[in-house]
Structure 1
Amino acid sequence: MKTQELFLKAIRNKIPKSVSLIDEIAAVLEISYDASHRRISQKSKFSIDETVKLADHYSISLDKLFSKKEKVIVEKTIEITTMKDMLLYFKSSAEQIEILTKNTGTTLFYSAKDIPLFYFMDGTILSKFKAFVWLNLLNNEQKKVSFENFVIEESFSEYMQKLKKVYENTIVNEIWNDTTINSSLQQILYFYEAGLLKLNSANALLKDLKRIINVIQEKCNNPSNNFSIYYNELILLNNNMLIETEEKLTMFVPYTLLGYFITDNEESCKNVHQFFKQQIINSKPLRQSGIKEQNLFFNRTIRKIDYYAEKINSQVDLHF
């Protein structure tokens, strides 16, 4: 199908069958009946300005209409190198996810390669530490101040709380494995060994990490919430996130530490949705599992935290 024919078909699908397409085009473009007829019969072409005007009037995505199936149009989150960038990132993320999840029945799927950032939104020491880590890893020119001297703006907590509220009002399906906690533990160890994190802070962070694990286990056993966590032993997770609403699917694909590509490409999102469902089938549902299965998973995680606590505290002499 030729480009103009495809475009006209998309416009026809937007108007009632009883309405004349020639009259419609003439009215929108403010041209004569004969000029509109020549475009409908494809004796003349739409100009670029006319195409954009029609696409805007009928809410037709030219990217979706003309791009090849193997190409996906994406938007991306902003690049983060400063605290100001990070505040803008969380502000825009909170606003975008809030719009996507405004209706009841919205479902969020998360492939948790790392602990989802929604758990670091309580204004605790771990919330501050994550911001400290993100800025250090995303900006090579970041001044190497210690964690204890790192200052975070008050509005950061405001945006984090908004994201947390959205998350808690959504049906959530998280997929974890035994490595999900690893990066948080390794970050605490790294900054302690680098001399940018004091021993008492490191121990407080590990204690807060235990608190998060306990919160998750409690959520597993709360029948009144919309939370499910699945333990998958078969595949590597990737921090992909998918939001399912009645209207559409929207996919978030990580490309840097906090950066995401975002798309609602129908075919791609359907494929990812099916993949998430397949992962869930091949995972152990910890919420529905018996206490033994739950304890096996959560106790392994707690023991890993204890191992890092022992490793850090055994190095005390090295810092004197």
Structure 2
Amino acid sequence: MNQQQKLLKAIRKQIGKSDSINDVVATVLNISYDAAHRRVSGKSKFSIDEAVMLCRQFRISMDHVFEGDNKVLVEKTKEIATFGDLELYFEQSSGYLKQYIGKPGATLYYSAKDIPLFYTIGGTLLSKFKLYVWMNLLIGKEQQEPFEKFVLPVSLLSYSSQLKTVYDAVAVSEIWNDTTINSTLQQILYFSESGLLSMKNALELYEEMRQLMSSIEQKSAENNPDFHLYYNELLILNNNVLVSETEKMSLFIPYTMLGYFITEDQNTCKNAGAYFLHQIKNSKSLNLSGTRDRKIFFNRAYKKIDYYAERLGYEIDPLY
């Protein structure tokens, strides 16, 4: 069976026996009945655009139609080399997530190898620093400019804020461990010791890290059914993101610092969903486990932040 026959078989399965597949194809593709009949009978071929239109209309996975069960077709996020690329990246990412807003059972699962970028979006010094790090590491200039000379386009904040708005509109289940905050802490230390970040700003960033962790601790202590934070001490997390609702799922798999492969292949997403649930089953809920366990986790994070600040020759007063 060729790909066109596979696609038509999948469409027939969707529409049942009551509707004429010729009429359906003609309507979706906005072509004549005769043109649709030629395609259905195999006398002419669907164009790539027509195949995509039909798959989207009937929510058919192109992965299985064109590649089979053991291969999947993936999209990928925008490659980043300029601020304009980063704006498009945020716009594209928020576009993927927007389709889940308001859908029954919409949930975002996040395997947080690093602090989820949604927490470092906004007008704070920490959000600016993370953008500075991303741009330096992604573009890889030989001569890096100091953080204090880094100018952030206003439009970029607007696009990144759209992504955070979408994140705040769906139920979230995040899995963290004791290393989730490590990379950000190390980045602050690295750029400070390299002379690219002033001592004043480095210390302020560590203070903001404490404030961020304090806000997450407070959020996890609230009885909010749309936010769940889990602690897993067994697995190495990978920054995979799964978004699901009752009829659709999307899986985001990182391949660079910000770059993600994206698939909506439902078998792949279901397997990923089962693995997320398995991780959660073997994790400790910081929402439900009680004050003691929650305090133990966050106190370890505060001590780690203090340790990095002390490496710069500064002692932070314990405020939280």
Matched with 1:86 is 86
Matched with 2:156 is 156
Matched with 1:228 is 228
Letter in 2 for 1:111: S
CA contact (8 A) 1:176 1:232 kept: yes
- What pairs up with 1:56-135 in 2 under 5 angstroms? 56-57=53-54, 59=57, 62-103=62-103, 105-135=105-135
In the superposition, relative to structure 1, how do residues 46 and 195 fare at CA in structure 2: closer, same or farther (>3 Å)?
farther
**Does structure 1 residue 300 correspond to structure 2 residue 300?**
yes
Shift of 1:165: 1.8
C-alpha separation in 2, matches of 1:169 and 1:285: 21
C-alpha separation in 2, matches of 1:134 and 1:124: 16
Secondary structure of the structure 2 residue equivalent to 1:313:
coil
CA contact (8 A) 1:101 1:245 kept: no
* Range that drifts further, 278-287 or 77-86: 77-86
Q: 1:46 is matched with which residue: 43, 46, 62? A: 43
Secondary structure of the structure 2 residue equivalent to 1:238:
coil
Letter in 1 for 2:267: E
Shift of 1:122: 3.0
**Does structure 1 residue 206 correspond to structure 2 residue 201?**
no
Matched with 2:317 is none
CA contact (8 A) 1:199 1:313 kept: no
Letter in 1 for 2:90: F
C-alpha separation in 2, matches of 1:137 and 1:26: 49
C-alpha separation in 1, matches of 2:195 and 2:217: 33
User: C-alpha root-mean-square deviation of aligned residues, in Å?
Assistant: 2.6
Shift of 1:20: 4.3
C-alpha separation in 2, matches of 1:216 and 1:137: 27
C-alpha separation in 1, matches of 2:306 and 2:48: 63
Query: Which one has the largest radius of gyration?
Result: 1
Question: TM-score if structure 1 supplies the norm length?
Answer: 0.88
Structure 2 spans left out of the alignment, 5+ residues: 315-320
* Range that drifts further, 223-232 or 178-187: 223-232
Shift of 1:10: 2.4
**Does structure 1 residue 219 correspond to structure 2 residue 216?**
no
Letter in 2 for 1:170: V
CA contact (8 A) 1:219 1:225 kept: no
In the superposition, relative to structure 1, how do residues 296 and 6 fare at CA in structure 2: closer, same or farther (>3 Å)?
same
Shift of 1:47: 2.4
In the superposition, relative to structure 1, how do residues 302 and 6 fare at CA in structure 2: closer, same or farther (>3 Å)?
same
Shift of 1:13: 2.6
C-alpha separation in 2, matches of 1:38 and 1:91: 36
In the superposition, relative to structure 1, how do residues 125 and 293 fare at CA in structure 2: closer, same or farther (>3 Å)?
same
Secondary structure of the structure 2 residue equivalent to 1:233:
coil
C-alpha separation in 2, matches of 1:226 and 1:31: 48
C-alpha separation in 1, matches of 2:237 and 2:266: 22
Secondary structure of the structure 2 residue equivalent to 1:108:
strand
CA contact (8 A) 1:220 1:229 kept: yes
CA contact (8 A) 1:135 1:142 kept: no
C-alpha separation in 1, matches of 2:21 and 2:94: 41
Question: TM-score if structure 2 supplies the norm length?
Answer: 0.88
Can you list the C-alpha shifts for 1:234-254, whole angstroms capped at 9, x where unaligned?
110000000011221100000
Percent identical? 46
C-alpha separation in 2, matches of 1:163 and 1:211: 21
Matched with 2:193 is 193
Shift of 1:157: 1.6
CA contact (8 A) 2:240 2:254 kept: yes
**Matched positions, count:** 309
Secondary structure of the structure 1 residue equivalent to 2:312:
helix
In the superposition, relative to structure 1, how do residues 22 and 224 fare at CA in structure 2: closer, same or farther (>3 Å)?
closer
C-alpha separation in 2, matches of 1:220 and 1:54: 45
CA contact (8 A) 2:81 2:139 kept: yes
In the superposition, relative to structure 1, how do residues 48 and 112 fare at CA in structure 2: closer, same or farther (>3 Å)?
same
Can you list the C-alpha shifts for 1:216-266, whole angstroms capped at 9, x where unaligned?
100011114511111101110000000011221100000000000011111
C-alpha separation in 2, matches of 1:203 and 1:25: 62
In the superposition, relative to structure 1, how do residues 288 and 55 fare at CA in structure 2: closer, same or farther (>3 Å)?
closer
CA contact (8 A) 2:61 2:265 kept: no
Structure 1 spans left out of the alignment, 5+ residues: 315-320
